[in-house]
């Protein structure tokens, strides 16, 4: 098992307008887009969403192949949604009689509707993670959530935890690989046997990994304290997020899209 | 003699109340701009002493003063840690951010340096340790020596007066050790940054201004490296080995060769041998 070829997240590095958008704006717009997808009352209302998605994908320079790859893990749920809706929904206009079930026009429309909704949700969300490095995303989340500090929501602590996790994932993976090799050299078998046997074989890997992770945590805490870390208070930032013209344009575009989607739903 | 930046006055420390003392009655003065070493085998208390100096631990007895500030009073803690930075042993466990540049910024963010000032200070710090070309790399892809130099840059950006190195080369390969040590020597020489170098590699102490040997929580020997290493027998009880050249000169003297006392480095030995051959 090669552990070191795992890439973190699915960020696709490129220099595009979408990449340069303020992460806060991107997160908020994603939420609005998700709302728009749920609001869309009929198939026609999806047309502007699909057009918008195509446009943003084009602007972001993310290959379509990578967007499609995001749907792949979902294929079973997709098929299930489609099939269940198709066969079990009662409608008024029968299209096809299979003997054991009748497929109606309404059922077909609903099946397409729900599957399309799923695909669009996944594609639009992955567009965010494809165009935003995890650490920038964390930063954006922290800023968005920081007003909640009033009600003692630990926005800074959460973001710090996430960024430390991101920093240490490769280190711990490397270590897991090392321990695994060491245990294999001493006769441990990680690859054969049934599920339970393999789960049991993981114990000699996980125990040293956890012990070392705790030791690292202790070391890191001390190093952070030595570098004057004392929580989010009075902290300045290297990276300052600033909304620029492109961010306002993006907001306007998404607002227009939402209006269009609602309109399409009403007209039809 | 210049004023001491770090002053330990009869310091004792134990990890638990009434427990064994990890550091016992240690007094130490590190002058501004000097390069001092603390030597000792594992468990001699040298790491504990390092952590006592920048206020990570507070002495059970005695006082530690950094730039005139006592570590006992809590309001000094952050200023002490800024003035006396610390670089630790494990290069992996002291870098916080996923990008080198941002890791160097970490300390600056903590002490509230204005955003506009940061890029300049970060670049200067990285340049001083020769890591500027790596500013946008991920730390986990760097070598051990490079990681330690990033850690030094992180401390350096905070413009400290002294840096304490707690066995910062112990986990590095010889190449990495040379890289780090030469970067530190340059900082000491060119920028006058006071260095307290804690190590169990005797040869690293050969060129320092003053060395202290710790054993069972006490400082048992202090002096210039020449004074300490000139007599191999003197440090034997503390389970330390003199640097290779000191041992060689001792052995040669025993064979009746008139090698002068205090030969410490390969260059000096070469000179001595050349002198005898003439």
Q: What is the ipTM of this complex?
A: 0.85
Nearest alpha carbon to residue B50 among B16, B19, B26, B18: B26
A236/B92 CB distance under 8 A: no
Together in a domain, A28 and A103: yes
Return the residue of A nearest to B54 by Cα.
A226
Whether residue A46 lies inside any domain: the answer is yes
Q: How many CB pairs under 8 A join A and B?
A: 93
Whether residue A4 lies inside any domain: the answer is no
**A73 against B113, higher pLDDT:** B113
Query: Best mutation site among B92, B137, B153, B159 for testing chain A: the one with the most A CBs within 10 Å?
Result: B92
Nearest alpha carbon to residue A39 among A121, A125, A127, A107: A121
Whether residue A2 lies inside any domain: the answer is no
Together in a domain, A125 and A177: no
**Would you give the end-to-end CA distance of chain A in angstroms?**
54
Together in a domain, A205 and A256: no
Overall size of chain B counted in residues: 278
Owning domain of residue A55: 17-132+242-267
Together in a domain, A116 and A181: no
Residues of A with CB below 8 A from B158's CB? 227-228
Give CA separation, B130 vs B34, B73, B134, B165, B178, in Å.
Answer: 22, 37, 9, 18, 13
A228/B122 CB distance under 8 A: no
Whether residue A237 lies inside any domain: the answer is no
Together in a domain, A27 and A128: yes
Together in a domain, A22 and A126: yes
Smallest CA–CA distance, residue A239 to chain B, in Å, is 8
Average pLDDT over chain B reads 89
B115/A163 CB distance under 8 A: no
Q: Are the C-beta atoms of residues B36 and B208 closer than 8 Å to each other?
A: yes
d(C-alpha B221, C-alpha B228), whole Å: 7
Q: Which pLDDT band, with edges at 50, 70 and 90, does B251 fall under?
A: confident
pLDDT at residue A268 in the model? 61
Q: Is B155 on the interface with A (CB under 8 A)?
A: yes
pLDDT tens digit sequence for A55-91: 999 999 988 888 888 788 888 999 999 999 888 888 7
> What element of type H or E holds B64?
strand B61-66
pLDDT at residue B89 in the model? 93
B56/A236 CB distance under 8 A: no
d(C-alpha B9, C-alpha B18), whole Å: 20
Q: Is B58 on the interface with A (CB under 8 A)?
A: no
d(C-alpha B101, C-alpha B126), whole Å: 8
Mean pLDDT of the region A2-13: 55
d(C-alpha A134, C-alpha B14), whole Å: 43
Question: Which chain A residues have any C-beta within 8 angstroms of a chain B C-beta?
Answer: 134-135, 163-164, 166-167, 170-171, 174, 216, 219-220, 222-230, 234-240
pLDDT at residue A66 in the model? 84
Average pLDDT over chain A reads 86
Return the residue of B nearest to A216 by Cα.
B93
Q: Is B51 on the interface with A (CB under 8 A)?
A: yes
**B235 against A227, higher pLDDT:** A227
pLDDT tens digit sequence for A126-170: 889 889 888 888 889 888 988 888 888 888 898 899 889 888 888
Q: Which pLDDT band, with edges at 50, 70 and 90, does B206 fall under?
A: confident
d(C-alpha B52, C-alpha B153), whole Å: 22
**A67 against B158, higher pLDDT:** B158
Q: Which of A205-219, B36-50, B250-264 is predicted with the least confidence, judged by mean pLDDT?
A: B250-264
Q: Are the C-beta atoms of residues A134 and A165 closer than 8 Å to each other?
A: no
A238/B92 CB distance under 8 A: no
Among the partner residues A174, A222, A236, nearest to B115 by beta-carbon distance: A236
pLDDT at residue A197 in the model? 85
Residues of B with CB below 8 A from A224's CB? 96, 106
Domain count, chain A: 2
Q: Which of A2-11, A77-86, B113-122, B207-216 is predicted with the least confidence, judged by mean pLDDT?
A: A2-11
Smallest CA–CA distance, residue B206 to chain A, in Å, is 28
What's the topology of domain B4-224? Rossmann fold (3.40.50)
Q: Are the C-beta atoms of residues A81 and A118 closer than 8 Å to each other?
A: yes
Residues 76-105 of B with CB under 8 A from A: 78, 81-82, 85-86, 88, 90, 92-99, 101-102, 105
Among the partner residues B95, B101, B110, nearest to A228 by beta-carbon distance: B110
Ordered by start, the domain boundaries in chain B are 4-224
pLDDT tens digit sequence for A136-148: 888 898 889 888 8
Residues of A with CB below 8 A from B114's CB? 236
């Amino acid at each position: 098992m090669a552990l070191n070829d795992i890439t973190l997240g699915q960020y696709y590095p490129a220099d595009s307008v979408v990449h340069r958008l303020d992460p806060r704006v991107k997160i908020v717009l994603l939420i609005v887009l998700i709302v728009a997808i749920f609001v869309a009352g009929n198939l026609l209302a999806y047309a502007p969403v699909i057009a918008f998605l195509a446009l943003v994908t084009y602007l972001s320079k993310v290959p379509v192949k990578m967007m499609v790859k995001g749907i792949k893990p979902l294929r079973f749920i997709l098929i299930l949604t489609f099939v269940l809706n198709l066969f079990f929904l009662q409608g008024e206009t029968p299209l096809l009689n299979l003997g054991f079930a009748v497929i109606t026009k309404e059922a077909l429309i609903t099946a397409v509707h729900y599957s399309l909704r799923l695909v669009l949700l996944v594609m639009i969300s992955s567009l965010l993670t494809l165009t935003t490095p995890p650490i920038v995303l964390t930063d954006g989340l922290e800023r968005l959530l920081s007003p909640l500090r009033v009600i003692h929501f630990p926005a800074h602590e959460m973001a710090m935890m996430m960024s430390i996790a991101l920093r240490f994932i490769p280190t711990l993976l490397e270590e897991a690989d090392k321990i695994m090799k060491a245990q294999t050299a001493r006769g441990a078998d990680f690859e054969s046997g049934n599920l339970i046997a393999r789960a049991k074989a993981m114990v000699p890997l996980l125990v040293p990994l956890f012990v070392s992770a705790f030791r690292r945590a202790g070391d890191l805490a001390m190093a952070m304290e030595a570098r004057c870390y004392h929580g989010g208070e009075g902290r300045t930032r290297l990276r300052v997020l600033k909304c620029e013209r492109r961010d306002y344009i993006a907001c306007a575009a998404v607002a227009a899209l939402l209006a269009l989607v609602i309109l399409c739903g009403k007209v039809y | 003699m210049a004023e001491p930046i770090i002053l330990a006055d009869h310091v004792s420390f134990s990890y638990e109340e009434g427990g064994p003392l990890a550091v016992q009655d240690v007094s130490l003065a590190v002058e501004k701009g000097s390069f001092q070493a603390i030597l000792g085998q594992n468990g001699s208390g040298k790491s504990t002493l390092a952590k006592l100096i920048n206020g990570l631990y507070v002495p059970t007895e005695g006082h530690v003063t950094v730039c005139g500030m006592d570590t006992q009073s809590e309001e000094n803690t952050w200023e002490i840690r800024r003035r006396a930075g610390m670089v630790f042993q494990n290069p992996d466990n002291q870098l916080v951010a996923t990008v080198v540049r941002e890791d160097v910024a970490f300390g600056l963010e903590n002490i509230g340096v204005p955003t506009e000032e940061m890029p300049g200070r970060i670049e200067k710090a990285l340049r001083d340790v020769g890591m500027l070309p790596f500013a946008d790399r991920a730390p986990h892809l760097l070598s051990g020596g490079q990681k330690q130099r990033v850690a030094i840059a992180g401390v350096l950006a905070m413009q400290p007066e002294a840096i304490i190195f707690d066995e910062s080369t112990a986990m590095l390969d010889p190449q990495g050790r040379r890289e780090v040590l030469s970067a530190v020597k340059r900082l000491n020489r060119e920028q006058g940054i006071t260095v307290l170098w804690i190590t169990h590699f005797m040869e690293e102490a050969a060129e320092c201004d003053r060395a202290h040997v710790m054993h069972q929580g006490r400082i048992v020997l202090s002096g210039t490296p020449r004074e300490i290493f000139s007599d191999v027998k003197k440090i034997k009880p503390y389970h330390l080995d003199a640097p290779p050249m000191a041992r060689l000169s001792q052995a040669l003297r025993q064979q009746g060769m008139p090698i002068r006392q205090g030969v410490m480095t390969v260059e000096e030995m070469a000179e001595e041998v050349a002198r005898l051959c003439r």
